[in-house]
Structure 1
Amino acid sequence: MIETIPAALAAAVRRDLTTPVLTWYDDASGDRTELSGATIDNWVAKTANLLVDGVGLGSGDAVAVLLPAHWQTAAVLLGAWAAGLAADLGPDPQPVEVLFTSPERAGTAADWATGDRYATGLLPLAAPLREVPPGFLDYTVEVRGFGDRFVSSAPVDPNDRALAGPIEESHLSVCRAAAERATELGIKSGDRVLVDAGAYPDPADWLLAPLIAGASIVLCANLDPAKVESRAESERVTHRLT
């Protein structure tokens, strides 16, 4: 059994660098973004380097991630876990070193971080914000300046903290819970899973359960019911969470 989240991502990347690990749709904006193993590994590495080399965080530190289901949210979470950091998913995080959120939540969330604060508009093509909230940096702008490869100073241990907050969880306990959740949701290794982000907003469902199970993800925001059948066919979906 896979015992850490970075190990689960590494297994997904190793399966095939060119096939999609996560495909994102937003039926409100028309956005479609496909992340192959190589692409998501690149974003994760850049995010981990941002947190370690840019911010100076170390193993055991925590970041707050107050973002909806989105491919950039996956990059932020997986980057934090690759760096040996714990993620606090809110909704009311304890004060942490670094915060990632949306411009809409920036005003109320700013006090939750003692260090750097990053905002992202979750825009198509990872476009930068037209207006960055005061006291924040634009994640999509800042992260591009960091390296495409991340080398950890020490491997993430199964007993390292993965989730922070009122209830803390280790990588091992998160992976076990994700495997159990995958079974509950009917996700199997090799599946291509279409996920309605509105119905399954928890990263435990839309990200971790498929990742730990060895499945790939088609994550859909503002899912148009009229498009489900054609999308399932075009994306070769084998399982649906709608």
Structure 2
Amino acid sequence: MPAVPSRSVPALLRSLQDDDPGVPRLTWYAADHERSGERVELSARVLSTWVAKTANLLEEEFDAGPGSVVAIDLPTHWRTLVFQLAAWSTGAAVRLGPDRPADVLVSSSVEALRRNASTERIAVSPAPLARDFGAEVPEGVLDYARVITGYGDTYSPMVEPGPEDPALETADGSALTHEGLLAGAAEAGAGWPPGVRLLTDVGPADVVRGPLAAWVRTGSVVLTPDLGSLPEKVAAAERTTATLS
């Protein structure tokens, strides 16, 4: 197993910026890219800024940190990765799905937001350049797009998570600790060369063997919700060197 270059998500993001702050680290293609042209590209600096703003929101508004749980009910999307990275930056655990107890629920589903009225909630629109949720937000729910620009561009956790603190809990009940998060990513990406450019459609449950594994290799990610809907010419244009589904 290769050495882990970073022991925490904030350290990983710093290492990507130190390597080259302007190089693309996350490129998103919507499923209907051919019709809509929706493509979003985030450099190391821009990705880190989105993560910092979101981590500041989670910590300042909801006291997210070690011991707390952020439930993420979002599809395969670049914003989903931002929320996962932000939650881990605070030291919180990410729990996938809307229907198990959590301190904060992050969802794009109005139904799920309404159903979990006793939980702190954040409404997230997957629409490109969204300035609001795009639908009526249930009472007591924070509209992510409306407020996120008001949070700081840098983030330092108040408390570091312990090595055995949970980091990722999937719907089947399996869990990964903060210590195991990047170690697992390093192991998963051991067969890829440094600087790998990964084309993938893996969902939030597979973030360790997908995006995190590429970033640990100082690489980058081209993400789409369905590889089958993406024209072959995109992989050539993006100069991808590995594919994962």
TM over 0.5: yes
Equivalent-residue separation in structure 2 for 1:203 and 1:59 (angstroms): 20
Cα distance, 1:225 vs. partner? Answer: 5.5
Equivalent residue pairs, number: 235
Paired residue type of 1:84: G
The equivalent residue for 2:201 is 196
Structure 2 residue 95 is the aligned partner of structure 1 residue 88? yes
For residues 162-181 of structure 1, the aligned pairs below 5 Å read 162-164=167-169, 166-181=173-188
TM-score of the aligned structures, taking structure 1 as reference length: 0.85
Q: Indicate if the aligned counterparts of 2:79 and 2:126 stay in contact, CA closer than 8 A.
A: yes
1:11-44: CA deviations, max 9, x gaps? Answer: 2222111011101011414211000011111111
CA distance in 2, matches of 1:57, 1:127: 24
* One-letter amino acid of the counterpart of residue 179, structure 1: A
SS of corresponding position for 1:57: coil
- Partner Cα separation in structure 2 for residue 187 and residue 17 of structure 1: 22
Percent identity over the alignment is 35
Q: Which runs of 5+ in 1 are unaligned?
A: none
* 1:121-136 correspondence to structure 2 within 5 Å: 121-135=125-139, 136=141
Match for residue 63 of structure 1? Answer: 70
Q: Report the Cα distance in structure 2 between the residues aligned to 1:10 and 1:26, rounded to whole angstroms.
A: 27
Q: Deviation at 1:226?
A: 6.5
One-letter amino acid of the counterpart of residue 137, structure 1: L
Report the Cα distance in structure 2 between the residues aligned to 1:161 and 1:171, rounded to whole angstroms.
6
Q: Is the 8 A contact 1:95 1:113 kept in 2?
A: no
Aligned residue for 2:29, secondary structure, equals: strand
What letter is aligned with 1:9?
L
Cα deviation for residue 189 of structure 1 reads 2.0
Residue in structure 1 matching 2:149, options 124, 144, 150: 144
Deviations 1:183-211 (A, max 9, x none): 4xx4332111111347x973233322222
Q: Does 2:25 match 1:18? A: no
Contact 1:49 1:146 in 2 (8 A): yes
* Matched-pair contact (CA < 8 Å) for 2:28–2:41: yes
Indicate if the aligned counterparts of 2:66 and 2:160 stay in contact, CA closer than 8 A: no
- The correspondence of residues 3-14 of structure 1 with structure 2, limited to 5 A, is 3-14=7-18
Hey, what's the Cα distance between the residues in 2 that align with 1:144 and 1:133?
18
What residue is the counterpart of 1:238 in the other structure? 241
Aligned in 2, Cα 1:161/1:6: closer, same or farther, shift over 3 Å? Answer: farther
Is the Cα contact below 8 Å between 1:23 and 1:219 reproduced in 2?
A: yes
Residue 144 of structure 1 and its aligned partner are, at CA, apart by 1.7
Judged with a 3 Å threshold, the aligned counterparts in structure 2 of structure 1 residues 187 and 132 are, in CA distance, closer, same or farther, namely farther
In the alignment, which residue of structure 1 is the partner of 2:123?
Answer: 119
Which segment drifts farther, 93-102 or 205-214?
A: 205-214
Q: TM-score, normalised by structure 2?
A: 0.84
Amino acid at match of 1:66: D
- How far off its partner does 1:171 sit? 1.2
